A = this chain, B = another copy of it.
Amino acid sequence: MAETDRTVNVGLIGLGTVGGGVAKVMARHRDEYRSAYGIDVRIKRACALEEERARELGFEGDAFTQNWQDIVSDPDIDIVVELIGGEHPATEIFEGALGSGKHVVSANKALLGRHVERLAGIAAEHGVQIRCEASAGGGIPIVNALEHALVGNEVLTVAGILNGTTNYILSRMDAEGLDFAEVLADAQRLGYAEADPTADVDGFDAASKVAILSSIAFHTRVTTDDVFMEGIRDVSAADIAEARSMGYVVKLLGIARNTADGVDVRVHPTMLPADHMLAGVNGAMNAVYVVGDAVGETMFYGAGAGSFPTASAVVGDILALADAISHNDHVQAEIKPFGRVLPLKSIEDLSTKYYIRLAVEDRVGALAPVVDVFARHQISISQISQLADADEGRCSVVFLTHKASERDVAAARTELESLDVVERVASVIRIEDVEAWSEGAEANE
């Protein structure tokens, strides 16, 4: 048995899906952590509103409180685990815990996506750490990889499937040819989507996660509000089928690139080559692609949500801190963020290929004014095809562009919408240039 100097006390705030998982995983493995690593760690006290839930998880008497201040003010507690989510009182919990010299472990992407700079500053000032492995990618050890194993690299790109609900929906739309609304309803029935699905399907959740990951990867300030965001509501079964026929798969990606023109960070439906590793990630699974200048292309795959997978990440963070504390080693303070503040690149300056589907009148000459609009906006077309889904007198026409600027495409879109022959611009989906993710990688030299 490995040696230990003292017991590490954890205060757990929140006993919901993730908090319950953390309590169970730590109870089940406590002896093993002691024997294998010499880490003696226990949850001294848990905080939740429901006493019944706490009792089921083994927290009674002194080990239970309904008041988070009891945890933050407990001088015996070394690590506060915040798993209630949202901005309040999570902010106050962070401030109280860090201010009294306790490390904080959290899965709170909404809070960290917006306020990590200020909170990390408080942690640095008080000589403690914030750890947030579970806040991006659930159980996938991506934060740890960026902060440690890949730290010798200049990270060029972080891009991933960061939301399980939307990946589940897109995967089923692809496999079964169903439309968005149908699959969403089914996903809600099965518990894969919330009753109010906005945070997932409109991209907010993925935007928080890509903000956290790009801040860490590029050592620069990226907040959720900096992320360009577009959800999957407008993606249709027809687009997905057409994408397949052209060798592409549609995924909701969070993409962050450290380019010469600034940090390019965005969440939107993306067409990816069907043989790309991310294209094979289906169902509710998540995956994060990281390109470093030395390591080249890497990918990290796993469950992005769920009780036990997320608990795995939280417990990993707890044990990293507990390892040092239980051996009376110094735990390094949070590094004051950020090493640098890089400019952000506007979505308008994005240059990529586009898939554009128009519902147009089905008559001779209808395409002429459309093609003219593209030409006047410097958008070069590589392929035009008519889809089989035509109604009488109407048809869908898909245009693939060569690389074009987002600004030009947006202007062209407005003009197309005003044309008599165009009923509507049914969809505009960016085709991601995955080769560009590796630009500057030494591994490719």
Point out residues on A near B: beta carbons under 8 Å: 1-2, 21, 24-26, 29, 32-33, 35-38, 133, 139-141, 143-145, 148-154, 219, 275, 277, 280-281, 292-303, 306, 308-309, 311-316, 318-320, 323-324, 327, 329-330, 332, 335-336, 339-340, 441-443, 445
Interface centre among A154, A316, A445 (most CB of B within 10 A): A316
A302 touches B294 (CB 8 A): no
A294 / chain B contacts, CB cutoff of 8 Å: 21, 25, 139, 308-309, 311-312, 315
Q: List 6 other contacts, CB 8 Å, given A141-B150, A149-B313, A308-B443.
A: A21-B294, A25-B153, A37-B335, A294-B308, A296-B302, A330-B330
Whether B139 pairs with A303 at a CB distance below 8 angstroms is no
Complex CA distance for A35 and B314, rounded to whole angstroms = 29
Distance (whole angstroms) from the CB of A270 to the closest CB of chain B: 18
- Whether the Cβ atoms of B139 and A295 lie closer than 8 Å is yes
A336 contacts which of B2, B152, B280, B315 (Cβ < 8 Å)? B2
State the CA gap A159–B140 with chains docked (Å): 17
With a cutoff of 8 Å between Cβ atoms, the chain B residues found around residue A293 in the complex are 308
- A144→B148 contact, CB < 8 A: yes
Q: How far is the CB of A401 from chain B (nearest CB, A)?
A: 29
Residue of B nearest to A144 (CB): B149
Option from B275, B296, B312, B445 in Cβ contact (under 8 Å) with A153: B312
Judge whether A36 and B219 touch: CB under 8 Å: yes
Query: A308-B442, A323-B332 known; A298 and B140 CB under 8 Å?
Result: yes
Residue in chain B with minimal CB distance to A318: B152
Q: How far is it, in angstroms, between the C-alpha of A301 and the C-alpha of B445 when the chains are bound?
A: 20
Task: Report B-chain residues with C-beta under 8 Å of the C-beta of A312.
Answer: 150, 152-153, 292, 294-295
Contacts A144-B148, A335-B2, A335-B37; A139 near B32 (Cβ below 8 A)? no
Closest to A300 in B: B300
Output the least CB separation between A3 and chain B (Å): 10
Given A148-B320, A296-B308, A300-B298, is A330 in contact with B332 using a C-beta cutoff of 8 Å? no
Instruction: Report how far A143 CA is from B148 CA in the complex, Å.
Output: 11
Q: List 30 A-B contacts (CB under 8 A).
A: A2-B339, A21-B294, A24-B442, A32-B154, A36-B219, A36-B339, A36-B340, A37-B335, A38-B335, A139-B295, A141-B148, A141-B149, A141-B150, A141-B298, A144-B148, A145-B145, A145-B149, A149-B316, A152-B312, A152-B316, A152-B318, A152-B319, A275-B280, A277-B301, A292-B312, A294-B312, A295-B308, A296-B309, A298-B301, A299-B300
Report whether A329 and B330 are in contact in the complex, using a CB–CB cutoff of 8 Å.
yes
Which B residues are in CB contact (< 8 Å) with A151? 33, 37, 315-316, 319-320
> What residues on B are CB-neighbors of A38 within 8 Å?
335
Residues of B within 8 Å of A335, CB to CB, are: 2, 36-38
Contacts of A308 in B (CB 8 A): 293-296, 441-443, 445
Q: Which residues of B contact A332 (CB under 8 A)?
A: 323-324, 327, 329
- With a CB–CB cut-off of 8 A, which chain B residues contact A26? 152
Q: Which 3 A-B pairs have the closest CB atoms?
A: A152-B315, A141-B149, A295-B312
Expressed in whole angstroms, the Cα–Cα distance for A327 and B331 within the complex equals 11
Q: Which residues of B contact A275 (CB under 8 A)?
A: 280
Chain B residues closer than 8 Å to A340, beta-carbon distance: 35-36
CB A217 to nearest CB in B, in angstroms, measures 11
